[in-house]
Amino acid sequence: MKEISAGGVVFRKREGELEIQLIQDRYGKVSLAKGKMEPGETIEETALREVVEETGIHGRIIEPIDMIKYQYNHPEHGLVDKEVHYYLIEEESGSLQAQVEEIRGVSWFSPEAAWQQQKQSGYDNNDIIVSKAFQKLGLRIGG
């Protein structure tokens, strides 16, 4: 079975300073807003919908970042091939509101603090996504 999800690295500029959005997932790990594609949606539509649903923020896609692939064992479907497509998404409107059914919290961070959070409490396979997003934003953060 194959499963496709999409999400993004959401950013905004506040008083000339760049901020990066991170979520805390239901397992207490730092992550990025993402979710499963629904029938009839494009991957881009999925990414934008999931960001709104999980964080309350409406955004626009700037460009693709990358895709990660992995496998997991589903209790009913067995081995699932998972693809997660990530986009660089700029905040346009909305207010930060965590979807408590799905995630524990959502916050804005300076790029440096976001990188520290990712390295300390994030999923290893998101390191490359956050790193590539920072490169696209012209940021240099230690790896």
Q: What is the pLDDT of residue 34?
A: 96
Domains of the chain by residue range: 2-136
With 0-12 CB in 10 A as exposed, 13-18 as middle and 19+ as buried, what is 137? Answer: middle
Q: List pLDDT tens digits, range 59-113.
A: 999 999 999 999 999 999 999 999 999 999 999 999 999 998 889 999 999 999 9
Q: What is the DSSP string of 22-36?
A: EEEETTS-EE--EEE
- Domain 2-136 in this protein, CATH class: alpha beta
Amino acid at position 16, single letter: G
pTM over 0.85: yes
* pLDDT above 60 (res 116): yes
